[in-house]
Structure 1
Amino acid sequence: MAIVVAWCLFALGVAHIAFGVIKYRTPLLEAVSAGFIGQFQVPEIRRTAFWFVLLGPLLMFAGHAAVHAVSVGDLALLRLIGFYATATSLVGVVAFPKSPFWAALLVAPLLLVAGYGVL
C-alpha cells in the first residue's frame, strides 16, 4: 500500500505539470515566443504560470524519493517526506481553501503513517 501512496505523490506532480501547461498555455507560449529568458517577471500571470508548472517536477522528485524509501525500507526518509508534504499541504489548504492542495492533503498524511510502518 505504501508504494501506491508514494506513486500517487509522483502522479500529483505529473498532473500539476499537465494542468499548468493547459491552464497557463497562453502566458507560457508568450514567454517562450518572447525569448524565454527573463520573460517571467511580468506580467504577473507569467510568474504564476512559471511557479505553478515548476512545482510539478518537485512533487515528482518527492514521489520518486518516497518510492525509493519504500523500496529500500527507509522509514525515516518516508516519514520525513510525509512530514514535509503534510505540513506544506496544510499551509496550502489554509492559505487557499478552494485549491487542489486538498489532493496532496489526502496523500501526504498516508506517507507519514507509512513512515511509521502502519501501512
Structure 2
Amino acid sequence: MKRWLGRWLLGVGVLHVAYGLVRYRPGFAAILDHGFWNALPGHPDRELAFWFVMSGWGMLFGGGLLHRLEAAESRLPRWVGWTLLIPAVLGIALEPATGFWALLPPAIGALQRARVHQAGAAA
C-alpha cells in the first residue's frame, strides 16, 4: 500500500502553522509586545492566534506518528481514522468554508486501510 496518510497530515500541519503565523501576525506581535508571560487571558485575538498555530503543531505530531506507522507497515487501528473523521465532519458542518475538508482524505484512507488490515487478519 502507498504511504501517503502521514505525509498528507504533515502537509496540512505545515500549511496550518504557516498560514496561522501569517494570518494572525498581529496577534503574535501583541503577545510579544505584552512580554509573552500571561499574554493570552482576556485577549481573544491572541488566543485565536496561539491555538490556531498549536493545532497545526498537533497535526504535525500526528502526521509524524502516522508516517512512522506506515513506514513500519504496522496495522493501522480504526480509531486513527475516526479521530480524523469526527472533527472533520463537525468542522465542516459548523463552517462549510473551512480547512477541515483537508482531514477527509486521510480519515477515509485510514478507515479503509484499517478495514483492509482487519479483513487480511481474518483470512
TM bucket, shorter chain:
0.7 to 0.9
TM-score, reference length from structure 1: 0.87
Distance between the aligned counterparts of 1:64 and 1:18, measured in 2? 17
Partners of 2:2 and 2:59 in 1: CA distance: 17
RMSD over aligned Cα, in angstroms? 1.7
Q: In the alignment, what sits opposite 1:4? A: 4
Look up the match of 2:80: 81
Q: 2-side partners of 1:32 and 1:107: how far apart?
A: 35
5+ residue gaps, structure 2, are 118-123
* TM-score for the superposition, normalised by structure 2: 0.85
Which stretches of structure 1, 4 residues or longer, exceed 6 Å deviation after superposition?
none
Gaps of 5+ in 1: none
Number of aligned residue pairs: 117
Letter in 2 for 1:48: L
Other-structure match for 1:48: 48
Distance apart, 1:112 and its partner CA: 1.9
Answer with 1 or 2: which has the greater Rg.
2
Task: Name 1:72's counterpart in structure 2.
Answer: 72
One-letter amino acid of the structure 1 residue matched with residue 11 of structure 2: A
Q: Distance in 2 between matches of 1:42 and 1:117?
A: 48
Q: Percent identity?
A: 26
